[in-house]
Chain A
């Protein structure tokens, strides 16, 4: 076996072995991203704090100083207030945080995306949110008893049009 034929065969065999190894490592060994007998709970939503709490009526003098086409009675801050979110699992608070509005001017919604690993089985979930700074307590609250299966993905969302918190 001489010259190029030798290189084609020997080089081909080496390349074949290399690519077979590459092919094997392209799908193995497996990776476990979630422990066994565990479910994933995600609390995720975007919601803008209610700006109306910080609104006030302009005085007559202030209105008179404005051009006629700009004399809106009420004046509100552009920046939204932060929201406060709390999540209880089986009576224990596992998440409680104030979330500032997004955007450079703070005029965007606040964002919440939290992951929580829970053992599979029954759990009592309570989620609360305050979106007005002048509220005592919370503006929204929901409670649900859930039975989580292993590797289940459970989501708590918030949709004001549907009355508040939504459990998936």
Chain B
């Protein structure tokens, strides 16, 4: 097992451990991005509130922070603590988010954009926090200001060393201090812009955590702010050195290193770290299947695939082939990860077709609908006895490994609902198990939601009413939950055996099966050729 697979199983195990405590949909590890946004807004709102009471002059800054922390602890003091603790928690959430996306391999290939645009966010979060600590103008602020400016002065871009502003009590002017206040407003605004850019290449980006998780997080932050209020560390005095300071190890954890290592090493290290992070998606790049391809003869521009694509890779454009429809769809190959969700959303994706080639409106060149039908027929042939379960599994979940009677897909939403109907009505199996990624942790973001809505007959293409819902099992399990998937599938098989065979079968005749297989091979070759 590769290192990444081991890490992935370990992280999945940790995440699944939190499921019973929070519920899968409130699991904080599956909501790190939305939590980051939520914490940003808490920090922004409390920052605006604190600014009402904060004095931006260097002489009165410390006094104003003390006043709001002590005399008005019940509102402004709580806001200050919230401001600090939410910022620290944002660092934790951000670093976990970064590590998690790396371990789950969601940063390479066509998904490079979100990763690369996330790198500046790391630095802007740190810069926002560091400039915030300056404003309290206590001893920690003095230490941070002097260390930061000495580090900046190592860059040959300032005519006058900035650190000279912090040499003596007389050298720091209120005007310069006001500039620091401006920086603490401007940098978070740039951070917000960077966060907005970060989510531009995904559709329906989650920027709000579930309400319950938001309530838990905010409630805990308020409670801790009341129990352990943030405090200052004595007024700054430029005539002395703040020899001992209580560090914020989340935002200022690198400062001891800056104290001990020459500035050139720090800047070189920061630059290398940034370049390595930015370069990771190409070290090495992920080998991805060719992008989805549109077949206009079978596309009426209904836009279901546009709505379902998790990566905004499909757009609706003016019709180009003279067919009597207003629109057709176009795939941006630079964004398409070949998850197949578009194929599952296309009303033309019906495996029941018996005349001619099985072609759909939007297909995957390397894993066509025709090939999928053939795989299903082949997998069904491996099933014996009563209570036969054919599993449609996600390659990133508990059912990712090949097994008899199992078809592994890049995403379970690649399977159109008509495929489940086909499996049951042709008697290929007594029931279908849909084994997707862990709840709230869909590798392709929206696959689980779309699958659930389609089989609940809430989202087009709907599962036909004739399909008995008890013959469909959905299991949302991560890679560490193989045993749970097997147990649930076994229980499902027993239930199916008790139900007996599906009554309205019209079995696949041998000629149809052979024809499907032949068509599959020919069509697959044709599509691969077309993609070239």
A interface residues with partner B (beta carbon < 8 Å): 4, 7-8, 10-12, 14-16, 18-20, 22-34, 36, 38-40, 42, 44, 46, 102-103, 108-109, 111, 113, 115, 150-153, 155, 157, 168
Describe B's contact surface by its main secondary structure.
helix
Establish whether residues B250 and A42, one from each chain, have CB atoms under 8 Å apart when the complex forms.
Answer: no
Q: Which residues on A sit within 8 Å (CB–CB) of B239?
A: 152-153, 168
A140 smallest CB distance to B (angstroms) = 18
**17 new A-B contacts at CB < 8 Å, known A15-B219, A33-B256, A115-B150:** A10-B22, A11-B28, A19-B224, A20-B224, A25-B248, A26-B230, A26-B248, A27-B246, A30-B244, A31-B245, A32-B244, A33-B242, A44-B161, A111-B153, A113-B161, A153-B241, A168-B168
Q: Which residues on B sit within 8 Å (CB–CB) of A157?
A: 167-168
User: In chain A, what residue has the closest Cβ to B157?
Assistant: A102
Establish whether residues B241 and A155, one from each chain, have CB atoms under 8 Å apart when the complex forms.
Answer: no
| Alpha-carbon separation in the docked complex, A31 to B260 (Å) | 12
A-facing residues in B88-111 (Cβ within 8 Å): 88-89, 92
A139 smallest CB distance to B (angstroms) = 21
| Alpha-carbon separation in the docked complex, A38 to B163 (Å) | 21
| Alpha-carbon separation in the docked complex, A102 to B242 (Å) | 31
| Alpha-carbon separation in the docked complex, A157 to B147 (Å) | 19
A108 smallest CB distance to B (angstroms) = 5
Establish whether residues B255 and A10, one from each chain, have CB atoms under 8 Å apart when the complex forms.
Answer: no
B387 smallest CB distance to A (angstroms) = 31
Interface 1/0s, chain B 163-176, versus A by CB < 8 A? 11001100000000
B234 smallest CB distance to A (angstroms) = 12
Q: Which residues on B sit within 8 Å (CB–CB) of A109?
A: 159-160
Describe A's contact surface by its main secondary structure.
mixed
A-facing residues in B48-107 (Cβ within 8 Å): 81, 84-85, 88-89, 92
B216 contacts chain A at the CB level, 8 A cutoff: yes
User: In chain B, what residue has the closest Cβ to A17?
Assistant: B220
Most chain A CB within a 10 A radius of its CB, from B81, B156, B215, B243: B243
Establish whether residues B256 and A26, one from each chain, have CB atoms under 8 Å apart when the complex forms.
Answer: no
User: In chain A, what residue has the closest Cβ to B20?
Assistant: A10
Establish whether residues B159 and A12, one from each chain, have CB atoms under 8 Å apart when the complex forms.
Answer: no
Most chain B CB within a 10 A radius of its CB, from A19, A32, A168: A19
Knowing A7-B22, A10-B21 are in contact, say whether A113-B248 is a contact too (CB < 8 A): no
Establish whether residues B246 and A44, one from each chain, have CB atoms under 8 Å apart when the complex forms.
Answer: no
Q: Which residues on A sit within 8 Å (CB–CB) of B215?
A: 8
Interface 1/0s, chain B 200-226, versus A by CB < 8 A? 000000000000110111011101100
Q: Which residues on A sit within 8 Å (CB–CB) of B21?
A: 7, 10-11, 14
B145 smallest CB distance to A (angstroms) = 13
A48 smallest CB distance to B (angstroms) = 11
Interface residues on chain B, number (Cβ under 8 Å): 56
Q: Which residues on B sit within 8 Å (CB–CB) of A19?
A: 85, 89, 220-221, 224
Establish whether residues A32 and B243, one from each chain, have CB atoms under 8 Å apart when the complex forms.
Answer: yes
Establish whether residues B216 and A15, one from each chain, have CB atoms under 8 Å apart when the complex forms.
Answer: yes
Establish whether residues A22 and B22, one from each chain, have CB atoms under 8 Å apart when the complex forms.
Answer: no
Establish whether residues B249 and A12, one from each chain, have CB atoms under 8 Å apart when the complex forms.
Answer: no
A118 smallest CB distance to B (angstroms) = 11
User: In chain A, what residue has the closest Cβ to B215?
Assistant: A8
| Alpha-carbon separation in the docked complex, A46 to B164 (Å) | 9
A61 smallest CB distance to B (angstroms) = 38
What would 22 A/B residue contacts be, using CB atoms closer than 8 Å? A4-B212, A8-B212, A10-B22, A11-B212, A12-B216, A12-B220, A15-B220, A20-B227, A22-B89, A22-B92, A23-B81, A26-B84, A26-B249, A27-B230, A27-B231, A31-B244, A31-B247, A34-B243, A153-B238, A153-B241, A157-B167, A168-B167
User: In chain B, what residue has the closest Cβ to A157?
Assistant: B167
Establish whether residues A40 and B159, one from each chain, have CB atoms under 8 Å apart when the complex forms.
Answer: no
Knowing A31-B247, A153-B239 are in contact, say whether A113-B89 is a contact too (CB < 8 A): no
In-complex Cβ contact of A152 among B23, B156, B230, B240 (8 A)? B240
Q: Which residues on B sit within 8 Å (CB–CB) of A24?
A: 228
A88 smallest CB distance to B (angstroms) = 21
| Alpha-carbon separation in the docked complex, A4 to B223 (Å) | 20
